[in-house]
Amino acid sequence: MTDIKKLEAIVSQVRRDIVRMVHGCQSGHPGGSLGCADYVTALYFNAMDRKEGFDMNGTNEDLFFLSNGHISPLFYSVLAHAGYFDKAELATFRKLDSRLQGHPTTHEHLPGVRIASGSLGQGMSVAVGAALAKKLNGDNKLVYALFGDGELQEGQIWEAAMFAPHNKVDNLICAVDYNGQQIDGPTSKVLSLGDLKGKFEAFGWTVIESAGNDMAVLVETIAHAKSLTGQGKPIMILLKTEMGFGVDYMMGTHKWHGAAPNDAQLEAALVQLEETLGDY
């Protein structure tokens, strides 16, 4: 039986890490990182079949690709707590000579990172390719990928979204951080996404809608998504999240998409986030 309280405790520490990392270098993207913390934690600490150690091939294990690479503080924190590298390294985020760059890169050879995802819109193509490779190699593990909703304004996403159902890539579970915010404002004003569920269904995907900041719901949603694999269609989860979730003054606004808290704002955030696994 899944220990929801344990997962929620991990998420609280991950959120503490996020705001401390962005504050430490006065640069980065806390809003989306906080909003997606529940989902990525649920993947790595409950849903994904991971093996000991790390290699780029990723055979015989589930894979995860972060397409919206600007939420790297979340990714790095989860990887550290999942044992890919020492969490003390989180203190080097975005600093000179750090492996923890603003967007994940592969040339730094950071364990857990399989693609450079600084340029938005490319992750679905990579995830589809990895999923196809697993099918060709007789590897029955799954591929997961996460995207921002503003990122869906990139055309390459829709090329890959058309390719995956046509080729019956049914070992792929994608998710969209559907918070309605992007760097310049609400997605509805910058470039409306319209009926996102209807669009993916029309392309041939199985679509699930879910709360994105409720751990118990997420655990059930991901389990449901896994049960639908192997049926000829890729899976898309539309996660109804709130940007900045967990820190009251960051929630529900695009202004914290790419802004760092000052000292007083950091303290106000940390008061709201319980230290559960020890700060780095």
Q: Which are the contacts of 280, defined by CB distance < 8 A and separation ≥ 6?
A: 17, 20, 80, 87, 88, 89, 90, 91
Q: What is the pTM of this model?
A: 0.97
For the segment 135-155, what is each residue's pLDDT rounded down to a tens digit? 999 999 999 999 999 999 999
Confidence tier at 118 by pLDDT (50, 70, 90): confident
Collapsing DSSP to helix, strand or coil, 151 comes out as helix
Average pLDDT over every residue of 234-247: 98
Q: Tens of pLDDT along 188-230?
A: 999 999 999 999 999 999 999 999 999 999 999 999 999 999 9
In our burial notation (b when 16+ CB lie closer than 10 A, e otherwise), range 109-144 reads ebebbbbbbeebbbbbbbbbebbbebbeeebebbbb
Percent of the chain with pLDDT over 90: 98
The contacts of residue 257 (CB under 8 Å, 6+ apart) are: 29, 31, 32, 181, 182, 183, 243
Q: How far is CA 239 from the centre of its chain?
A: 11
Across the strands, what pairs with 171?
none
Rounded to 5 degrees, φ, ψ at 175 are -145, 145
- Please count the residues of the chain: 280
Beta bridge partners of 185: 182
**Interval 61-108: pLDDT, tens:** 999 999 999 999 999 999 999 999 999 999 999 999 999 999 999 999
Domain 4-272 falls under CATH 3.40.50.970: yes
Helices 155-166 and 123-136 cross at an angle (nearest 10°) of 20
Neighbours of 271 (CB within 10 A): 9
CB-CB contact of 215 with 42 (8 Å): yes
- Answer yes or no: is pLDDT of 264 > 70: yes
Q: Alpha-carbon torsion 172, 60, 57, 139, what sign?
A: negative
| pLDDT of 1 strictly over 90 | no
Query: What pLDDT score was predicted for residue 2?
Result: 85
Q: Find tokens 């909703």 and name the residue.
A: 149
Average pLDDT of the chain, as a whole number = 97
Which residues are CB-contacts of 245 (< 8 A; sequence separation ≥ 6)? 34, 35, 37, 38, 213, 251
